[in-house]
Amino acid sequence: MRVCFLLFVGFFSIFANAASPNGCGKGQHWVKPHARRAYYRGDGTYVRASNVVGHCQSNPPGYDVWNAKLMNGRPRYWHPKEEISSWTDEERERVLEALGELPAVLKDEGIDGIFRLKNALIPDNPASNSFSSVVLYDVAFSKQFNLTQVLGHELTHRLRKSLSDAEFASFQKAAKWKVDPKTGLLRSHRPENQFLRRNGMLSPEEDFCDDVSMYFLQPNKLKQIAPKVFDWIDNHVKLWRVK
Ligand SMILES: [Zn+2]
């Protein structure tokens, strides 16, 4: 009986290997040899630079869905002055790993594609989104940015759209955004050291996208920097659903 079982397992592995290209097993994909720059994962783990040899890699969570969404070309309804780039093997691996780090609630499968363009019209902008498309620019893969946090921020813009006005008003209150009576514009009354980066001071939405992304990737950091904002997200996150 034991012999039969082992024979069956052996037969199944041979069959699985024969069925997938490059001999990688089920739940794995082939990574071509490439030079990889050093980078930080979303949780702050350092990954050193390396000449990656060709190998079978276990698929990160959601690999099949998101691999099919890494698109070439320019999204529909996009600024024609932004130049198209193409994905490298290094970048594809990095993006799919980063998506694997992000929670399901941020991964709206209604996104039609993640596109790769060279430079944003706004200098040093690492990413952007419009309608159902997300764009990553060259700088998103540089030392200047943490790619997982960049993607987390961009995908949180999608999540924001699913929140009611009342819920977002509740966030604004917790994060101390108030209308300035002189200008009529919203202004935060949190000190600058309670923001993860200056970008968050631009608007409640930018603040929200930085904070929610950090809540999932480095919760202790958010708790330390902006404890009231952390508490608000912690109380609301259970109610959020992927659209
Ligand atoms: Zn943003």
Q: Is the pLDDT of residue 197 over 80?
A: yes
- Per-residue pLDDT at 2: 46
Q: What is the CA radius of gyration of the chain?
A: 21
H runs (alpha helix) in 61-203: 63-67, 89-101, 147-161, 165-174
Average pLDDT over residues 52-65: 94
User: What spacing in Å lies between the alpha carbon of 207 and ligand 1's midpoint?
Assistant: 8
Q: Nearest 5 degrees, angle CA 45-CA 114-CA 109?
A: 90
Which of 3-12, 57-66, 105-114, 215-224 is the least confident region? 3-12
Asked if the structure places residue 172 within a domain, the reply is yes
Residue 77: how many CB atoms within 10 A of its CB? 9
Asked if the structure places residue 60 within a domain, the reply is no
User: What spacing in Å lies between the alpha carbon of 151 and ligand 1's midpoint?
Assistant: 10
Asked if the structure places residue 126 within a domain, the reply is no
User: What spacing in Å lies between the alpha carbon of 210 and ligand 1's midpoint?
Assistant: 8
Number of domain units in the chain? 1
Q: Is the pLDDT of residue 106 over 60?
A: yes
Asked if the structure places residue 45 within a domain, the reply is no
CA atoms within a 13 Å half-sphere pointing along the CA-CB vector of 2:
0
User: What spacing in Å lies between the alpha carbon of 214 and ligand 1's midpoint?
Assistant: 13
User: What spacing in Å lies between the alpha carbon of 157 and ligand 1's midpoint?
Assistant: 7
Q: Which residues of 58-71 are buried (b: 16+ CB within 10 A; e: fewer)?
A: ebbebbeebeebbb
User: What spacing in Å lies between the alpha carbon of 154 and ligand 1's midpoint?
Assistant: 6
Domain that holds residue 192: 162-243
Q: Is 136 helix (H, G, I), strand (E, B) or coil?
A: strand
User: What spacing in Å lies between the alpha carbon of 147 and ligand 1's midpoint?
Assistant: 14
Q: Per residue in 63-87, pLDDT tens?
A: 999 999 999 999 988 999 999 999 9
The answer for residues whose C-beta is within 8 angstroms of residue 98's C-beta and 6 or more apart is 41, 42, 147, 148, 151
Question: Terminal CA-to-CA distance of the chain, rounded, Å?
Answer: 49
Asked if the structure places residue 114 within a domain, the reply is no
Residue found by looking up tokens 């290209």 in the block: 21
User: What spacing in Å lies between the alpha carbon of 192 and ligand 1's midpoint?
Assistant: 18
Q: Per residue in 146-183, pLDDT tens?
A: 999 999 999 999 999 999 999 999 999 999 999 999 98
Asked if the structure places residue 51 within a domain, the reply is no
Q: Is the pLDDT of residue 21 over 80?
A: no
Say how far apart CA 237 and CA 127 lie, in whole Å. Answer: 24
User: What spacing in Å lies between the alpha carbon of 62 and ligand 1's midpoint?
Assistant: 23
Asked if the structure places residue 193 within a domain, the reply is yes
User: What spacing in Å lies between the alpha carbon of 12 and ligand 1's midpoint?
Assistant: 47
Q: Per residue in 129-143, pLDDT tens?
A: 988 999 999 999 999
